[in-house]
Structure 1
Amino acid sequence: MSKTKRTLPLFPIVFTAVMVAASVILCRFLGFSPSNSTVRFDLGFLPLAVVGELYGFPYSGIGYLLADIIGSLLHGYAPNPYISACKLLTGIIMGVGFHKKKVTLLRSFVVFTINAVIVGVGLMPPIFIFMYAYEPGFAYATRAINAAVTIPVRVFTFYFLWKACGKMLTEMKERQQNFTNKKKNKSSADFSAYANSFQAVTIPGLSRIKALLDALGNPENSLRFIHIAGTNGKGSVAADIASILTAAGYRVGKYTSPNLLRVNERISVASEDIPDGALDALLERIRPLADKIREEGGIPPTQFEIWTAAAFVYFKEESCDYVVLEVGLGGEFDATNVIPQNEIAVITRLGMDHMQYLGNTLSDIARAKCGILKTDSATHRLITPAQEPEAMAVIRAACEEKGIALTVPAPVSEGAEGYLERFSVGKYQHLLTGIPGYHQIENAALAVMACDALGIGEDAIRQGIAAAKNPARFEILRENPTVIYDGGHNENGIRALTASLDRYFPGEKKSVIFACMADKATDVSLSLLSEGTEAFFFTEVKDNPRALHAEDLAARAAALGISGTVCKNVGDAYEAAVAAGRLTVICGSLYLYE
């Protein structure tokens, strides 16, 4: 696994270098030691003791080592490795003894006494015994006398120096750290804002996500994926499958998009969204890797690629048994398709959407979605509903090419229970959906057959389907009057919505609050919604650069002979619609959910 690039702590290094120079001057030029004497008096320790208090033993230890080496060279002789090692140890003792601790006379006495006993008296005499042929007793005695004299000098000079200058030096260090942290935090904040912002333009391709995951140790290689592509119903099928696997006792990760209220919703484990702390830590971990990719390739990873990488790392760290993985856009070149294998693939209902990226025909769109099919698959199976003939032909050909068995469920509706649906599919009889809406029969059937192929038992399938939840899909927000929120945002989605309205509210007049993205085709959707609608309220998604302005949406509707009230925000539209006291439907975009 490649390591994160770290920035050198420049200021501590420069400060230590200045103190090394001061130490050399105080020791080599201003210190006193008779020739070949065991006695020495100097204040060379003082700058390095300050370094030890401010920055710790790595800096003070290496600093004292360098001071000895440089001092020796300046005096024209090679440094003695043994003496240099003793200086390194002295710096370490001062760093350990003083760093992040209050400087007192007692602490100063303890630190310098320990150093004098270990280094001055314990380790230095052998130099004089073996190099200068001193008598051992004389060498140890004179070093002990030297220590007895220098300990008080060191204690008082350092204590009073710190008392006079310590506050100033500490404030200097804090200002430097604050400056560094501000730069770091600004970089982190900028990256977090980028990662969490709306992405106006997608950038197909897998090179950036591959590079990102390589740098993160390829967590995707150790995960088991249920991969879901399609135009409509992906989120509901993902919710159904995750609920079934959870009911079967598995620890399940789920990755979906977009989020409704909080970005954390995109990544969940065991039905719990990723906590803020874990998410922040992941984004901070990914930030330098994304910067490196940008520097090397010119194009930074997209928001979706950042989120996908974060999700895979989180799922691995959380030891997920299965990961339910929803494609973001298309299939073949979507960031989720970086996975090397899957347990099973699901392609939900296909329709005409995102044509600027996927192609202008249903065949082109089907071909892009079939890009998620893998020859390396645990079940070698694809689950898909009966699609339009041109899409089905592409799907069958792709399955045949990759040796994938195709399952096309044929669910049978058995009637509604409130806004939920009773149905049977395959050998499973009288199942009940947990997500409301007539169209959820098809989505639930896909989930049931996918889990059946994975070998999940009937009890878990039955329990999981009934317990599944997916907000903003024919969600009943209130009664009297009934307000429904549905994320339908393309022709297929609006057809499913109107079919459910006809089933549960036959002949009932309604108000419609509608907003959408500027790149969405709206004519068919508006025409479908206009049947039985007494009033339209056109609004817009706030803080989204892709959003269609309410005035422009009203103009599109007017061209179809549909009139309505323009509201600058969904809150105003909601109040106006509910005041009329009739059934109200909010639709057109998942981003409208508040």
Structure 2
Amino acid sequence: MMGLSEREAFASLEKRLQAEASPGTRPGLSRLARLCSCLDHPERTFQAVHIVGTNGKGSTASSLASILDEAGLRVGLYTSPHLESLGERLRLDGEELPLSLWERGSDVVLRALDSDPLLRIDPPTLFELLTALAFWLLRESGCRLAVFEAGMGGRLDATNLLPRVVLTLVTPIADDHGDYLGKTIEAIAEEKFAVLRPGVTALFAGGDTHLEERFLRRAQASGARGFLLSQWPLFGIRCTDRGTAFRLDLSDGPRDFFSPLLGRHQATNAAMALCGAHFLKAFFPSLLDEETLARGLSRTFWPGRMEILSREPIVILDGGHNPHGLTATLRSVSDIWGEERRRRALFAAMADKDFRSELALFREGRWDVVFTEVPNLSRGASVAALAEAAASVGLTNFLCEPRLDRAFSLAVEGSDLLLCTGSLYLVGALRSLLRAA
């Protein structure tokens, strides 16, 4: 791999792992459990915070990890998907792990895979391989606490193999991945709530009374200590293009907090992280200082979520990839910048997403839209499919340009505000494209 840049080396490593993995998504824990056994159970060597939900998982996870890091704890952070490089998926003390360690860990994991006859016949998926690799990397690095963002699921998600969970956070739940999680919001919620564990504190962001009742019933049935975020008053939310300020009463009265992440919804994600840290005080007394919590939150970094790339014109990257997430993004754009500017969206989506409902939101908000495609992404929706869906919901003010570089130039020209959204894969491709420009 000599002569390659680190980003290219990570891309090569990802292809190597992909070549050994089962294709697609195959929910279940048996393959990963068998692989972890071959690796002498690295997942048993650290405590974990497990974060599940539909939207806001990554923002909540990164906020909590930043707080724990500020408190002096050696904390790992596992998230998915990555935007540009595989190394983004795992951080320790806020930093990506070295490529050399990833390469060594990949060698170990693939040797273990090859040593087991059953795994050779039925190998884990790429996400399962990466999760096993993360377990190994955290053990090798001496990590004792890690924040794990679940993939798309809950009960059968690879991260649910974690045996030493000390806190479960459930972010807002919405309709997504229905082919795997269920066709109703209730079925999806039950898949998420299934990760609750006996004796472990669980906090749900809530927002839907019916789902909140289901959560509390599941917590009681499973023996978990269930709490709703609404038990901690959150108010005074103020959104600007520099971040989100709010007040939260954790224990002894309301305190002012600030997150550099943009949008009203980020106040909820930040409050989830702060309450999570508050619960973790029982394990880590250094979290007792609320000034530490505030400083840690204010240093959160989470790219690709209402990320401002330019201010003249305003160019925003956001990975909203379902109607619930895009609704929050569009509301945030209006809250912060108003509706008087000439607003355009550069939009691409995965073929299996409900992009028809997302496009209806652009029609309601009177946006101009440019449809494009993510390069070399077989799962992406074509501009023809996006145009057909747009016409079906009455969105008429759109253009199509499948080449991403041309689409970006077309979209940004003459606009006061450009929102690039619809998929984290689009965000990652644009970040790479604009860096190279």
**TM, length-normalised to structure 1:** 0.65
Given residue 541 of structure 1, which amino acid in structure 2 is its aligned partner?
A: V
* Paired position in structure 1 for 2:400: 566
Conservation of the 8 A alpha-carbon contact between 2:360 and 2:394? no
Instruction: Identify if the C-alpha distance between structure 1 residues 474 and 196 changes in structure 2 by more than 3 Å, giving closer, same or farther.
Output: farther
- CA distance in 2 between counterparts of 1:212 and 1:459 reads 42
Equivalent position SS for 1:432: strand
Conservation of the 8 A alpha-carbon contact between 2:239 and 2:263? no
Aligned-pair CA distance for 1:213: 0.7
Match of 1:440 among 230, 254, 266: 266
How do 1:252-263 and structure 2 match up within 5 A? Answer: 252-263=75-86
Match of 1:589 among 411, 417, 423: 423
Given residue 208 of structure 2, which amino acid in structure 1 is its aligned partner?
A: E
Match of 1:483 among 298, 310, 315: 315
Equivalent position SS for 1:372: coil
How do 1:274-289 and structure 2 match up within 5 A? Answer: 274-289=97-112
- CA distance in 2 between counterparts of 1:210 and 1:429 reads 43
Deviates further, 425-434 or 474-483: 425-434
Q: Percent of aligned positions with the same letter in both sequences?
A: 32
Given residue 363 of structure 2, which amino acid in structure 1 is its aligned partner?
A: S
- CA distance in 2 between counterparts of 1:335 and 1:301 reads 10
Aligned-pair CA distance for 1:397: 1.4
* Paired position in structure 1 for 2:330: 498
Equivalent position SS for 2:229: coil
- Greater radius of gyration (CA): 1
Pairwise CA RMSD of aligned residues? 1.9
Aligned-pair CA distance for 1:393: 2.6
Which has the larger strand fraction? 2
Conservation of the 8 A alpha-carbon contact between 2:246 and 2:258? yes
- CA distance in 1 between counterparts of 2:393 and 2:23 reads 27
Equivalent position SS for 2:165: coil
Aligned-pair CA distance for 1:439: 0.9
Conservation of the 8 A alpha-carbon contact between 2:78 and 2:147? yes
* Paired position in structure 2 for 1:451: 277
Aligned-pair CA distance for 1:361: 1.1
Match of 1:397 among 217, 223, 240: 217
- CA distance in 2 between counterparts of 1:536 and 1:263 reads 30
Conservation of the 8 A alpha-carbon contact between 1:212 and 1:290? yes
- CA distance in 1 between counterparts of 2:280 and 2:365 reads 44
How do 1:62-81 and structure 2 match up within 5 A? Answer: none
Aligned-pair CA distance for 1:383: 1.2
Equivalent position SS for 1:546: coil
**TM, length-normalised to structure 2:** 0.88
Q: What is the number of residues matched between the two proteins? A: 403
Which has the larger helix fraction? 1
Aligned-pair CA distance for 1:409: 2.1
Given residue 306 of structure 2, which amino acid in structure 1 is its aligned partner?
A: F
1:542 and 2:368 are equivalent in the alignment: no
- CA distance in 2 between counterparts of 1:372 and 1:249 reads 28
* Paired position in structure 2 for 1:576: 410
* Paired position in structure 2 for 1:43: none
Q: Once the two structures are superposed, what CA deviation does each residue of 1:210-263 show, in whole Å capped at 9, x if it has no partner?
A: 111111111111211000000000000000000000000011111000000101
* Paired position in structure 1 for 2:433: none
Equivalent position SS for 1:239: helix
Q: Once the two structures are superposed, what CA deviation does each residue of 1:508-561 show, in whole Å capped at 9, x if it has no partner?
A: 330111000000011221111233444211011222221111121111112222
- CA distance in 2 between counterparts of 1:282 and 1:517 reads 31
Given residue 577 of structure 1, which amino acid in structure 2 is its aligned partner?
A: A
- CA distance in 2 between counterparts of 1:523 and 1:413 reads 34
Q: Once the two structures are superposed, what CA deviation does each residue of 1:83-113 show, in whole Å capped at 9, x if it has no partner?
A: xxxxxxxxxxxxxxxxxxxxxxxxxxxxxxx
Aligned-pair CA distance for 1:470: 0.6
Aligned-pair CA distance for 1:317: 1.5
1:330 and 2:162 are equivalent in the alignment: no
* Paired position in structure 2 for 1:430: 256
Match of 1:553 among 376, 380, 386: 386
* Structure 1 ranges of 4+ moved more than 6 A: 197-200
Conservation of the 8 A alpha-carbon contact between 2:81 and 2:89? yes
Equivalent position SS for 1:241: helix
Conservation of the 8 A alpha-carbon contact between 2:67 and 2:292? yes
How do 1:86-97 and structure 2 match up within 5 A? Answer: none
Aligned-pair CA distance for 1:291: 2.8
Equivalent position SS for 1:345: strand
Instruction: Identify if the C-alpha distance between structure 1 residues 581 and 474 changes in structure 2 by more than 3 Å, giving closer, same or farther.
Output: same
Aligned-pair CA distance for 1:407: 2.1
* Paired position in structure 1 for 2:361: 528
Match of 1:212 among 35, 48, 57: 35
1:383 and 2:217 are equivalent in the alignment: no
- CA distance in 2 between counterparts of 1:560 and 1:294 reads 51
Deviates further, 438-447 or 412-421: 412-421
Match of 1:308 among 127, 131, 143: 131
Given residue 542 of structure 1, which amino acid in structure 2 is its aligned partner?
A: P
* Paired position in structure 1 for 2:6: none
Instruction: Identify if the C-alpha distance between structure 1 residues 297 and 387 changes in structure 2 by more than 3 Å, giving closer, same or farther.
Output: farther
Aligned-pair CA distance for 1:196: 4.8
- CA distance in 1 between counterparts of 2:41 and 2:79 reads 20
Equivalent position SS for 1:343: strand
Aligned-pair CA distance for 1:325: 0.3
Given residue 254 of structure 1, which amino acid in structure 2 is its aligned partner?
A: L
Instruction: Identify if the C-alpha distance between structure 1 residues 537 and 215 changes in structure 2 by more than 3 Å, giving closer, same or farther.
Output: same
Given residue 445 of structure 1, which amino acid in structure 2 is its aligned partner?
A: A
Equivalent position SS for 1:536: strand
Aligned-pair CA distance for 1:200: 6.4
1:239 and 2:62 are equivalent in the alignment: yes
Conservation of the 8 A alpha-carbon contact between 2:240 and 2:262? no
- CA distance in 2 between counterparts of 1:257 and 1:249 reads 25
Q: Once the two structures are superposed, what CA deviation does each residue of 1:4-49 show, in whole Å capped at 9, x if it has no partner?
A: xxxxxxxxxxxxxxxxxxxxxxxxxxxxxxxxxxxxxxxxxxxxxx
Equivalent position SS for 2:387: helix
Match of 2:236 among 413, 421, 429: 413
Deviates further, 533-542 or 484-493: 533-542
Equivalent position SS for 1:431: strand
Higher relative contact order at CA 8 Å, sep ≥6: structure 1 or structure 2? Answer: 2
Conservation of the 8 A alpha-carbon contact between 1:283 and 1:310? yes
Aligned-pair CA distance for 1:475: 0.5
Conservation of the 8 A alpha-carbon contact between 2:171 and 2:206? no
Equivalent position SS for 1:387: coil
Instruction: Identify if the C-alpha distance between structure 1 residues 266 and 426 changes in structure 2 by more than 3 Å, giving closer, same or farther.
Output: same
Given residue 384 of structure 1, which amino acid in structure 2 is its aligned partner?
A: F
Point out where structure 2 has 5 or more consecutive residues left out of the alignment.
1-10, 282-286, 430-437
Aligned-pair CA distance for 1:415: 1.9
- CA distance in 1 between counterparts of 2:164 and 2:30 reads 17
